[in-house]
Amino acid sequence: MPVRSHPFIGNIDERAFFLASSGEPSAPQWWLAGVNVETGAPLFPAIPLNPGDNPDCFLNGPDALLCITTEIENRTAWVIDSHSGAITYTGPTDLNIRPSDLNVQQVGIYAVAESVDEGVYGVGSRAETTWFVPGAGDMSPLYVLGLDIAQPPMAYQTVLGFNAFDRTLFSVVVIEPEMRDNFEMINILLYPGGFAAEVRPRDYSSAPQVRLYDAAGRRMSDIDFGISGMPSQPVFDMPALHDETWRYLTPHGELIAETAEPPVRLVGSRLIVDANEFSTRSWDQYDIHTGAKGKRCGNLDMDSGYIGYDGTSIAVTSDGNGTIGLDTEATDFDTCERLWTISSPPGSFRYVWRINTTLVQLSDDGTELMSLVAPS
């Protein structure tokens, strides 16, 4: 019988990795499984990990996986080749999965370890720490589900110091943003191909301004039309900045569109914003190329419930959870028509992920994975 857990670890393109259990719920055996979601073929035979409490597993680059047991002391780690399933290291580790010293987190497709009031470390091929970035050890963003863009290979943390609000940006591939010595970053937004940073002089001699950088840290543009605010989420599909309205820019700083409401996500060329109608859970949409406003669609969750879209006008979302019951729904944003719904009762293990370009569903009893296709 399966044990309720967070089975999906992550994916590299069509290669997806899951944590599974066998045996009785009171004494489960844990396994690492890999699946090609395009074909359904296993990547390698399931790899036995530990019995008892479930381990935590992470991607660590395009070629490796890292799993760690949860004991307070004497933890065990496995480093696994994500192509062949070969275990390249198993043994003791100082890495942790609790909020303390060397707490492992997923940033993009890499595992990193954060220590409070110390900073962030890279993780090597023997589950050891490697590179180090000093700071408060409070990274953002972590691995973000529901993205239609690649996981960003960058993150940021607060600098050390009492009442510190400045940010240190770092990358799992080495970059050093072009920044004058007397300036500091106080807010950061990551997007495909680069990032926006709100910067100010360390002596507060002038107001903050927004600068756009490419993924290598090269300064692309300074934004000089009074903008200071950024979305509350640390990752978005494009530069999105706020003064009296929300403005959406190219990575070179050219204005594309404006909206009064804050952005939620970009679905293809449709900018989805919250219509602020809580009772109807409605969402406005704008064509990012023309600025034209489309239909207002309601009764769905385009924020935390968003799963993905089919490349045209159809978005797939979820509503509910395993405790109260879960609905998975497809909506045509051209018409706001609900095309199909899959429902599960309370207590079901069913869940749906968008992995690469495939919808993957865990069965109600938690024992099977299957791909979903639109009804014919």
In whole numbers, what is the pLDDT of the chain averaged over residues? Answer: 88
Q: Which pLDDT does position 3 carry in this prediction?
A: 54
Please count the residues of the chain: 376
| Helices H / strands E in the chain, number of each | 0, 31
Q: Which pLDDT does position 199 carry in this prediction?
A: 86
Query: Model pTM?
Result: 0.87
CA distance 174 to 333: 40
CB-neighbour burial class of residue 302 (10 A; exposed 0-12, middle 13-18, buried 19+)? buried
What DSSP string describes 71-84?
-SSS-EEEEEETTT
- Select from 92, 137, 144 the least CA-distant residue to 113: 137
Q: Which pLDDT does position 4 carry in this prediction?
A: 58
What DSSP string describes 50-109?
EESSPPEEEE-STTEEEEE---SSS-EEEEEETTT--EEEEEE---BSSSSTTEEEEETT
Q: Is residue 1 pLDDT above 50, yes or no?
A: no
At residue 174 the predicted structure's pLDDT band, cuts being 50, 70 and 90, is low
Any idea which of 80-89, 274-283, 357-366 has the lowest mean pLDDT?
Answer: 274-283
Q: Report the pLDDT averaged over residues 28-40.
A: 97
What domains are defined for the chain? 1-134 (2.40.128)
> Do the strands 194-201 and 209-214 form a parallel or antiparallel pair, or are they unpaired?
antiparallel
CA distance 286 to 311: 16
At residue 226 the predicted structure's pLDDT band, cuts being 50, 70 and 90, is low
CA distance 191 to 173: 16
What DSSP string describes 134-196?
ES-S--B----TT-SSPPPSEEEEEPSSTT---EEEEESS-------TTEEEEEEEEETTEEE
Q: Report the pLDDT averaged over residues 285-300.
A: 91
CA distance 370 to 132: 40
CA distance 322 to 319: 10
Query: Do the Cβ atoms of 76 and 91 come closer than 8 Å?
Result: yes
Q: Which pLDDT does position 333 carry in this prediction?
A: 96
Q: Is residue 164 pLDDT above 60, yes or no?
A: no
User: What token pair was written down for 16?
Assistant: 């997806």
Name the one residue in this structure whose structure tokens are 């993780």: 123
Q: Is residue 209 pLDDT above 90, yes or no?
A: no
Tell me the residue type at 42. Answer: P
For 232-269, how does the pLDDT look when each residue is reduced to its tens digit (9 = 90+)?
A: 678 888 898 887 888 888 888 888 888 888 888 999 99
- Select from 224, 226, 198, 225 the least CA-distant residue to 210: 198
Q: Is residue 180 pLDDT above 60, yes or no?
A: yes
